[in-house]
Amino acid sequence: QSVLTQPPSVSGAPGQRVTISCTGSSSNIGAGYDVQWYQQLPGTAPKLLIYVNNNRPSGVPDRFSGSKSATSASLAITGLQAEDEADYYCQSYDSSLSGYVFGTGTKVTVL
Amino acid sequence: EVQLVQSEAEVKKPGESLRISCKTSGYRFSSYWISWVRQMPGKGLEWMGRIDPSDSDTNYSPSFQGHVTISADKSFSTAYLQWSSLKASDTAMYYCARQYTGYDDYWGQGTLVTVSS
């Protein structure tokens, strides 16, 4: 059972904006630990999408953005495209577990 | 170019032992932790643990502590994930990843482990 909670699914039409929430607690996000986001396309390995809350690795389109506040974080995708259809996971460190944890995952569907 | 290449898929019987590998190249192996992540069929990602190849220091998730062993061989720039006695519930895809200051920036392609009698 993950300590980071995400909505199971979100959907949007091409060109729309969608957001994915990642709700944690005082032992992870609320303790000030950074949040990462990963994208997993069907049948492939996860790929780093956002690191240290709001930074994009080279090659990741600026349609993807991250934010963090209190005990939660969010990933926003603007100008949704068909190729964005994937599973998205947040990740942070948890002091009570003395290790890293992933969120429950969110499936993004492009209508 | 940074690469993490994992060993091929395995089919094992319950009770058997197994070691899968993650061979790295394109960077200094000892300078970055290696994480292991499990993904059971149709499920989400689970962080299993990590190793610092420079001194083999390891951290395990409480969920996996005692069930798997993570190791590394600097001579071969390779990390390993090992089971001494597999269970059917170990059937999953396993990924290794290079960890840079708390985030996994490069990932292996995954190794599918199937445990069935």
Q: What is the predicted pLDDT for the residue at A84?
A: 97
pLDDT at B111 over 80: yes
> Strands, E, within chain B: which ranges?
3-6, 10-12, 18-25, 33-39, 45-52, 57-60, 69-73, 78-83, 92-100, 103-107, 111-115
**C-alpha dihedral (A42, A47, A48, A50), degrees to nearest 10:** -30
> Is the Cβ pair B103, A104 closer than 8 Å?
no
> Span A4-33, mean pLDDT?
97
**Exposed (0-12), middle (13-18) or buried (19+): which is A89, by Cβ within 10 Å?**
buried
pLDDT at A1 over 70: no
Give tens-digit pLDDT for B21-74: 999 999 999 999 999 999 999 999 999 999 999 999 999 999 999 999 999 999
Closest C-alpha to A6, from A32, A34, A51, A38: A38
Closest C-alpha to B60, from B85, B33, B40, B41: B33
Q: What is the predicted pLDDT for the residue at A83?
A: 96
- pLDDT band, very low/low/confident/very high, at A94 (cuts 50, 70, 90): very high
Q: How many CA atoms lie within 13 A of B11 on its CB side?
A: 2
> Is the Cβ pair B37, A46 closer than 8 Å?
yes
DSSP, res A4: B
Q: What is the predicted pLDDT for the residue at A91?
A: 97
Query: Which residue from B46, B102, B110 is facing A45, i.e. has the nearest CB?
Result: B110
- pLDDT band, very low/low/confident/very high, at B102 (cuts 50, 70, 90): confident
**Phi-psi sector, A52: left (phi>0), alpha (psi -120 to 50), beta:** left
Say which residues have a Cβ less than 8 Å from residue A111's Cβ, sequence separation at least 6: A11, A12, A13, A14
Query: How many whole angstroms separate alpha carbon A73 and alpha carbon B78?
Result: 34
Query: Which residue from B37, B61, B103 is facing A97, i.e. has the nearest CB?
Result: B61
Query: Which residue from A34, A45, A103 is facing B109, i.e. has the nearest CB?
Result: A45
> Contacts of residue A2 in chain B, CB cutoff 8 Å?
44, 46
Q: Does A93 touch chain B (CB under 8 A)?
A: yes
Max Cα-Cα span within chain A: 40
- pLDDT band, very low/low/confident/very high, at A2 (cuts 50, 70, 90): confident
> Contacts of residue A38 in chain B, CB cutoff 8 Å?
45, 104
Q: Does A51 touch chain B (CB under 8 A)?
A: yes
Give tens-digit pLDDT for A19-70: 999 999 999 999 999 999 999 999 999 999 999 999 999 999 999 999 999 9
